[in-house]
Amino acid sequence: MQPTSLQRTENALAAIAAAGEEGRRIFTRVYAEAALAAARAADARAASGTPLGPLDGRVVSVKDLFDVAGEPTTAGSAVLRSAAPATQDAAIVQRLRAAGAVIVGKTNMTEFAFSGVGINPHFGTPGNALDATRIPGGSSAGAGVAVARGFSDISIGSDTGGSVRIPAALNGITGFKPTQQRVPRDGAFPLSFTLDAVGPLARSVLECAQADAVMAGQPWQPLPRRQLRGLRVGVPRGLLFTQTEDAVAQAFEQVLQALAQAGARVDDVALDDWLGAPARLQQNGSITAAEAAHIHADVLAHQPDAIDSAVLARLRPGQSIMAAHYVGLLRARQRLMAELDAQIADYDVLLLPTVPMQAPRIDALDHDADAYHRTNVLLLRNTTVFNFYDLPALSLPITQPAGVLPVGLMVVGQRSADRALLAIGHSLQTQLGPLR
């Protein structure tokens, strides 16, 4: 017999409490009483045969940049602990509650969501789910660890440059970044108006798809089964494959070999002109830095010393970006998006490693600004390209031997074809040995 929602919620709350200080680094808030009440209500609906859908009674956590009515939204920052309480739930929190999800708590994150590493000096750094001495990935740090450790079935994060997919890859779970406009961002503390997206982390693509449908305001429909035979796969070898650790490269090639054996058409495709363009164009200032500097102008003017030094080092350059450069970036982006769309039109998906490394140790980065910066740039390199191009992307865990750190596979689809990408990801995860 399957455990009830109440049993699963009680187990999750007990596990969070048993984790002690680590649990408090993973979650900034835990809603024990409200979660238990929501679980009881879900069980009552199940008993009466009136469930609200696939998320009814599922244990869900939300990143601490989504508003929950009656409390401040800290976005991982000590500066915002005394902010005015939110007057209402964020749009996605409202939709999750309406779908019967049991909101168990808010998860920790990199301050202001501005790093792929996951270190937070204000609320503590959650350790990686497989080795707590290693980074969790960011910025949705607690979200990835919560799912991987069984503290929530599904976590909701944000992804501006990889902040859902990076922690998914480093913790051995699944993460989904949708096309940006698919999920509303009302009530989500912003990092970049142009690039922010809202997506789920879970054990499987199916669970991500169910959460995505709820947040997108769409009725749930089962994902169609996609055959791997005949699947058109592009592998963009080149810039995004450099500096890749051997363990990551070997795991990736194992997936490609299995796909070819399953009858997929796997082609190397030359896309460096387009995949390298975001970094080239933003050498003198990025879209995210410009918009983040605007969002945090007051804090930068009056309380800069209260910001994590690693985050401050990324915010400061945004203050000096010229308007002409910023406008030029936005216009170039629109042109490049159309060009890349044409280049990948003949492929169902692109495949590449989510990140080129396995999780490094926290103590190797925590007090070494240069090492932190190098690692952050490399962690974000592959993922951020597809925020720039607004293409939906999954990170799937590649099966590793017991005790070996996780490796992620990024699966990139066509813009606005989110359901098609999720269907392909689900088929990969259920039909392909290295991804099971």
pLDDT band at 406 (very low <50, low <70, confident <90, very high): very high
Judge whether 390 and 337 are in contact, CB under 8 Å.
Answer: yes
Instruction: Return the percentage of the chain with pLDDT > 70, whole number.
Output: 100
- The pLDDT tens digits for 140-172 are 999 999 999 999 999 999 999 999 999 999 999
Q: Return the minimum-mean-pLDDT range out of 1-5, 55-59, 110-114, 386-390.
A: 1-5
Q: What is the pLDDT of residues 270-283, one digit of tens each?
A: 999 999 999 999 99
Q: CB-hemisphere CA count at 13 Å for 359?
A: 34
Residue 1 pLDDT more than 90?
no
3-state helix, strand, coil split of the chain in percent (to 5) is: 45, 15, 40
Question: CA angle 281-285-286, nearest 5°?
Answer: 75
Q: pLDDT band at residue 356, thresholds of 50, 70 and 90? A: very high
CB atoms within 10 A of CB 47: 10
Q: What sections of 183-319 are H helices per DSSP?
A: 205-215, 246-261, 272-275, 277-281, 287-295, 297-302, 309-315
> What pLDDT, on a 0 to 100 scale, did the predictor assign at position 79?
96
Task: Look at the domain 1-436 and name its fold.
Answer: Amidase signature (AS) enzymes (3.90.1300)
CA atoms of 277 and 274, how far apart (whole Å): 5
Average pLDDT, the chain: 98
Write out pLDDT tens, residues 183-218: 999 999 999 999 999 999 999 999 999 999 999 999
Q: Radius of gyration of the chain from Cα atoms?
A: 20
What is the per-residue pLDDT for 407?
A: 98
Two tokens, residue 177: 């970044």
Per-residue pLDDT for 117 more than 90? yes
Contact 162, 384 (CB under 8 A): yes
Q: Catalytic residue positions?
A: 63, 139, 163
pLDDT of residue 197: 98
Q: Tell me the domain boundaries of the chain.
A: 1-436
